[in-house]
Amino acid sequence: MYAKSIMESIALFHDELSALRQDIHAHPELGFQESRTSDLVARSLTALGYEVHRGIGGTGLVGVLEGRRNASGRCIGLRADMDALPIQEQGQHPYASTTQGVMHACGHDGHTTVLLGAARYLAETRNFDGKLVLIFQPAEEGLGGARAMLDDGLFTRFPCDAIYGLHNWPGLPAGVIGVRPGPMMAAADHFEIHIEGRGGHGAHAYQTNDPIVIAAQLITALQTIVSRNIPAPDAAVVTVAAVQAGNLKAMNVIPRDADLVGTVRTFSTAVQERVIARMQELIDGMAQAFGARIEMKYHKLFPATINTPEHAAFVVEVATELFGAENVVPDLVPSMGSEDFSFMLQERPGAYFRLGQGGAERGCVLHSASFDFNDAVIPVGSAMFCRIVERSMPL
């Protein structure tokens, strides 16, 4: 009954939260540029009685609140991301983006609002014994805002015992919570391969060392890594996403150089290192076979997002208490996408879970120009955060 009252309480100010979310949606900001959003969050938290700390990881900020008691010495962190994407919105909403070429195409406007909804309820009730740390992170979209906050001493200044984050998921029905122990999202790496051959006339190809032919052979060879070098129970992706060589207007010219770029996704360090080693072996072998110079630059961007089993199980318990087992997926299939919340989970135990919002069947998918967060699920996400805090630090 008490758990139900959380949803009922948040529902009382649901309209305000929806209006807030739509305001953030109309004014999107790219990573490390979230000044307006950060100001809005800071004002909201200050009005609720939070101790606000700004400038952590650039535009990031933290709100701190003590419960009715702080005798337990416990501290729980909740995180939301704030940045938008460089995409031109195609939606026809009255609150569509007012910034040319920038939109909230991943729902971070919703995540920020969900955490502010939890912030309000927890400030009004303070039904916990310990300290609450709300983390509003900049620059999740490929820029490593989580790493920037950690480098600015996030967990040194605010030593959380556990950390939780969520992400909306169009592939789950609205209001359903999905989680799993262990890997939730993959490590994201990218690579650059430069091939240097010998250019010349297309009619006299025998006088050249064609880098385009070498590139074609190498692309095919790279696709054998997952199918022939990684055990079937393990997961990995090797994608060559772009190739650049020659001039489309010079049909009889063989260029000297070719460049490939792409991404690698893995869930474990062992598989990641095996992929890197095999890529280098293929590159070295191809260079020798064709008498060309081939170099690879490999960049490890974000580690895999790994939930600690006990905290993932705790999310299942909380979601089941709030919404019933029929609205919980405890063994959600992991995604090969990436998330820089992984950096926080490397330093603190915790869990990252999905907030179902529906819409995938209508083409509402993450990072699309027509994406929009489903305001109906704001209370669901807020209630999850609130109950996680209350049960983690009971009075």
Active site residues: 83, 140
Q: How far is CA 119 from CA 17, 122, 306, 330, in A?
A: 11, 5, 26, 26
DSSP state of 331: T
φ and ψ of 47, to 5 deg: -65, -30
CA distance 128 to 387: 10
Secondary element (H or E) of residue 263: strand 257-266
- Order of strands across the sheet that contains 236-245: 236-245, 257-266, 187-196, 293-302
Classify residue 376 by its DSSP letter: G
The radius of gyration of the chain's CA atoms, rounded to the nearest angstrom, is 24
Q: Which helix (H) or strand (E) holds 182?
A: strand 182-185
Transcribe 51-74 into DSSP letters: EEEE-TTSS-EEEEEE-SB--S--
Phi and psi at 384, nearest 5°, equal -60, -50
